[in-house]
Amino acid sequence: MMAGYRVVSSDNHIVEPPDLWTANIEARFRERAPQIVEEEDGEWWVCDGKRLQTGFGFSGAQTGKRFETPQEMTAGDLFENVRPGGYIPEEQVKDMDLDGVDVSIIYPSLGLQLFRVPENELLNAVFRTYNNWVAEFCSASPERLSGIAMINVDVMDEAVRELERCKEMSMTGAMIPVYPLEGHRYNSPEYEPFWEAANRLEMPISLHAATNRVGSGEGEPDGSRRLATLINSAHYALMSITDLIFTGVFERYPKLQVGSVEHEIAWAAHLVERMDWNYQQREAAQRSYRFKEDMLPSGYFRRNVFVGFQEDALGIRLRDYIGVETLQWGSDYPHQESTFPRSRQILEEILSECTEEEKAMIVGGNAARVYQV
């Protein structure tokens, strides 16, 4: 039973109110900022004249329907139907109590799509506005709610300043694109100041699903996305994580934590095995970066990487290959596919074969350590 464990949802969300940006962003960006627009096919979030996401069906208006009336689930819905916990902190805490969750690590909803905005000055202003809002949201219950900042890493000095500012606002970590711009992958030296800052500040860095930077293969400006891309979204996380490991980033910054969020976890067992085999056997790897420490890639994965899951029973069966210390559960509240309000029941089923120590680590201990909550 989960009753005896401290439960941390490492992947909760807020639902951005329609006026979040139009009411709070700097005046010169107001017309281009994210806002709800009524169009012939319903309500759309639009930024700088481009559609990003339809309504609120996915993000919070249909929480729990998957268990009750799945046939009624749709993408489009109205903000008035969003579960209040999505945008009122006291209501989210009430829902956490109902679901048996002690601490929530909070990500955006629409914000995941904003990495598709190409123009840096606008994007930085949009992110600053969101970060201010979510920091205030979490301040209503700082022991229960911990916010994750959004950071644009295309302009490095601004990225470092915003990371430092968000740390000062008591935010728990930061998210960056799961896959950056073409020609600017995370194996590039241009990111060294950011890794250094995250290491120094002990701010975990998240690679959340659906946050590909514009032009990187997912999340294009016209909103199109192949079903194959959705199903295989973990591809982008494993590419970025492998780039970081094989260029010695974690050797240089041993306190840096980088995590895959909402990509599930079974893929990580194969990645760990392949990284070690290639590092030891392939000629190309022999000519690449060689660790100064007596460690294999799997060692850096288990020390510096965390991977989040929601209902990946296969991944749990592979936990010894992945590393139990890397695994973090999240409910995805209040999104359409969330485990709310049956999170404890689902966790009991998925973790039934785990030891008591493993359960404690997976449902909360690992996340509490990484996010220092």
Q: Give CA separation, 107 vs 78, 146, 215, 226, in Å.
A: 20, 9, 23, 24
Q: What is the pLDDT of residue 130?
A: 98
pLDDT single digits (tens) 131-175: 999 999 999 999 999 999 999 999 999 999 999 999 999 999 999
Which pTM was predicted?
0.95
d(CA 43, CA 30): 19
User: Which residues is 146 bridged to in the sheet?
Assistant: 105
* pLDDT bucket at 282, cuts 50 / 70 / 90: confident
3-state secondary structure string, the chain? CCCCCCCEEEEEECCCCCCCCCCCCCHHHCCCCCEEEEECCEEEEEECCEEEEECCHHHHHCCCHHHHCHHHCCCCCCHHHCCHHHCCHHHHHHHHHHHCCCEEEEECCHHHHHHHCCCHHHHHHHHHHHHHHHHHHHHCCCCCEEEEEECCCCCHHHHHHHHHHHHHCCCCEEECCCCCCCCCCCCCHHHHHHHHHHHHHCCCEEEECCCCCCCCCCCCCCCCCCHHHHHCCHHHHHHHHHHHHHCCHHHHCCCCCEEEECCCCCHHHHHHHHHHHHHHHCHHHHCCCCCCCCCCHHHHHHHHEEEEECCCHHHHHCHHHHCHHHEEECCCCCCCCCCCCCHHHHHHHHCCCCCHHHHHHHHHHHHHHHHCC
Instruction: Read off the pLDDT of residues 215-270 as tens digits, 9 standing for 90 and up.
Output: 765 545 555 567 887 788 899 999 999 999 999 999 999 999 999 999 999 999 99
Residue-level length of the chain? 373
CA dist 127 → 82, 121, 151, 330, 361 (Å): 22, 10, 7, 23, 32
Domains of the chain: 8-14+84-371 (3.20.20.140)
Residue range 290-308, pLDDT digits in tens? 999 999 999 999 999 999 9
- Measure the CA–CA gap between 30 and 148, rounded to whole angstroms: 24
